[in-house]
Amino acid sequence: MKFLASQIAALLAGTVEGNPNEEVWNVAKIEEGAPGMLSFLANPKYIPYIYETKSSVVIVNKDFVAEKPIAATLIRVDDSYASFAKLLAYYDQLSQDKKGVSSLAFVTPSAKCGENIYLGEFAFVGENVTIGNNVKVYPQVYIGDGSVIGDNTTLYPGVRLYRNTVVGKRCIIHSGAVIGADGFGFVPQEDGHYEKIPQVGNVMIDDDVEIGANTTIDRSTMGSTRVHKGVKLDNLVHLAHNVEVGENTAMAAQVGVSGSTHLGKNCVVGGQTGFVGHLHIADGSKFGGQCGVMGSIKEQNQEFMGTPIQPLRQYLVTNARLRHIDEMARKLDSLEKELAKLKTSL
């Protein structure tokens, strides 16, 4: 898609300085600009690049004062950074404004589909599925029987939703995510083999949740594995059966949460953190990367680090002391030798 400088200025409530008919069709960093590119200048340390950039159009603040001639057309706005972000969001919306049902998609007769939906090639919609309005289902998505997809939700290529999965409104689920696979439930038998426990529950995802690529959320043994409103999960996160994640909690990549653990609201979990099962984590808890959480947390809004976890302040003090452990060991060895001499002399 091509845009004129004048069109961009109108969208951003800005003014054009230069050629209003200058065309752009992509974006670039100001230092990596090329003809047809749109860039922005917000950080003063990048000012030297504006005099040499090859970008056709550059968004700048209204109070920017040029000290040399500039070849690019300028669009002056109140806040160049915020305006550029707004423009990216607008472009992203246009580029993903897909509609229509591909002739290569398969929709069962009992499924109910809303208005203005997109179903890509080889998408499969199972029995008694309900899909809301403005939903986008990209190619090779599988939606199992009895599942429900809320309005304005997007399922990217290769997402797998097992039976009876419920996804709320305005959710984004990225490629390769598997929602609703069986929980890891087995009973060891006397002869050493494991007997599978049927997992008859489901996964419920509330509104405004984003789930990263290749993340897995297991169905519950009974009831629901639950992801509440506003939760953000990075790539490669795993939630086991009967886990519950409170509103607006965020988890970085490779977090693993064992079965029946409940995290409260507004928690922040660093990458590669692991939780054992059947814990209750208080609202507002924050965990640094690679934490090992082995017990419940009752007090809200606390920060933790380490394996097993320690309060952040305690962890920092302990870690600082560990850096001197060799010196401390030598001093201890010296003191033991002096003590031995004193005992001998007495």
The helix/strand/coil state of 325 is: helix
Q: Return the exposure string of 153-171: e unless at least 16 CB atoms fall within 10 Å of the residue's CB, then b.
A: bbbbbbbbbbbbbbbbbeb
3-state helix vs strand vs coil in the chain, percent to 5: 20, 30, 50
According to DSSP H, which parts of the chain are helical? 5-12, 47-50, 80-95, 312-322, 325-345
User: Could you confirm whether 241 is annotated as catalytic?
Assistant: yes
323, two tokens: 């850096």
Closest among 154, 177, 161 to 125, alpha carbons compared: 161
Could you tell me whether strands 73-77 and 57-61 are parallel, antiparallel, or unpaired per DSSP bridges? parallel
257, burial (CB in 10 Å: exposed 0-12, middle 13-18, buried 19+): buried
For residues 36-55, one letter each, b for 16 or more C-beta atoms within 10 angstroms of the residue's C-beta and e for the rest, the string is: bbbbbbbeeeeeebbeebeb
Catalytic residue among 193, 241, 262, 280: 241
Q: Which two tokens stand for residue 241?
A: 């059966």
Catalytic amino acids?
Answer: 241
